[in-house]
Structures are given as structure tokens and as C-alpha cells.
Amino acid sequence: MTRRLFAVLIAAGTGVASPALAVDVTGGSVTLSYSGLVEEVTNRDGDRADAERRSLSGSAEVELGRIFAVQGDLAFHGYGLDDAGGQSLALHGIVHAMPELSIGLFAGIESLDGRDADFAGIEAVYDFAQGTAEAFYASGQYGGSDGHAMGISGEYYANHWLSFTASAASADFGGRLEVGRAAVGARVALGAVDLTAEYGRADVGFGRFGDDGAFASLGATYTFGFKGGATFEGRSLGALLPGL
């Protein structure tokens, strides 16, 4: 199912465009971020260690007419424990149902700590006068185990350069990957570059690692295009992990 949807989204992005259906790159972003658990953690071998994540990710969106669009995400993650890493690719098919509301279907493939994952789901984002609200639900497989992931996030614009954020997400893939997290943060806009900071709590189970505690993250995002970014946040199982 996931790979069929992935193929359909690729076809939409590469084959639907025609002289009668103008294609226009509307925007995207590139993000460099770091996050980690505030305190040292105990892995499943009983050792104390730092749990952290370093990420480079990007998204780009192409319009297919006035209503439809396709967005692509690419992400690379590196983790502190056991030198684990991950890469992901996701595609979104987007319908701009109203000026304030966009709905999407997405599918992705991923390699996380040497195990393959695939996922597909539905998402929506609503823009209001002083902020945005976004939600997603996905199901798929990781390392041969079926599971699901879901999340909500919101942003409130205090003024033209400062906004406040809140988010919550969870994932459960049969014990191979279990995450529950919630965080609040802030974003500062400096022209085409946004600086972000976040603080929250997470309960993580992944391979031999399992712990819960507070985490913090810092990031810098460069946005481009007349939309000032893509419609949806990038989708990646690895991005749900605040640190390993």
C-alpha cells in the first residue's frame, strides 16, 4: 500500500504536468538542527551515555495548477548512541481545499539504524489570522513490525518576527520503536532564516535503548520561494526521536 501510494505521488509530480497545467515551484526549506536529552540516560545494556540527534533536512513544493501540489522531503539523522543513523524520503500529494485549509496524503521510505521502514498517511494544516495548526496520522512497518505514528502541532504569531510553538507526537511499532513526546518552543524570524528552540519531555524505546526525560533542541531553517516554505512539515520516523 505504501509503495503504491509512493509511486502514485511520483507520477503526480512528474507526469501530470502539461502545457495546460502550469508547474510552479512555490517554496521550500533547508533545516539544520540538534536535539538531545538533558540528562545522561541508561541504555538497555545498563551504560550511562548522552542521547542526541543531529539532523539535516529539506522540503520543496511544486504547484500543479491552482489547487493541487506535490511536496518532497529528504532528511538525514545521526545519533549519539552506537553511532546510529538514518535517512528518509517522503512525498506528499496536496489539495488546497480552501485558502486557509490544505489536506494531504503522504508516503515515505526510510532506513533507521540499519532497518528499513515505510509509512503512509493523511495530514491537514489550517492557517488562521495569528498562527497555524497541523495534524497527521500514519501507519506502516519498521523492521518488519506493523505500527502507527501521529502528531499535532501549532504555532502562534506574537508579531512579525516572534512566534511560539507547541507539539505532541507518538509512535508505536511493536516494541522496535516507541516514542511519546510533547514540547513547547519559540521561533525567531531573521529574514529568510528562522532560529528555533524547543523544550519538552519524551519517553523513548528504540532497540537496546530506553529511557524518558526532558529534551531540548535548537535549529536554523532557511526558507525560499514566494510561499516562504512548504505547506507541511517533513515526515520522518527518525525526526520523532529527540535523541539516541
Domain boundaries, the chain: 2-240
Euclidean distance between CA atoms 91 and 74, whole angstroms: 9
pTM: 0.86
Under CATH, what is the fold of the domain 2-240? Porin (2.40.160)
Query: Tens digits of per-residue pLDDT, 148-190?
Result: 999 999 999 999 999 999 999 999 998 788 999 999 999 999 9
Grid cell of 140 as nine digits: 506502516
The distance in angstroms from the start CA to the end CA of the chain is 30
The rounded percent of the chain whose pLDDT value lies above 90 is 63
Sign of the Cα torsion 67, 108, 208, 85 reads: negative
Residue 208 has pLDDT above 80, yes or no: no
Place of cell 538514518: 86
Query: Tens digits of per-residue pLDDT, 86-100?
Result: 999 999 999 999 999
15 contact partners, CB below 8 Å, separation of at least 6: none
- Residue 35: per-residue pLDDT: 92
- Residue 62: per-residue pLDDT: 95
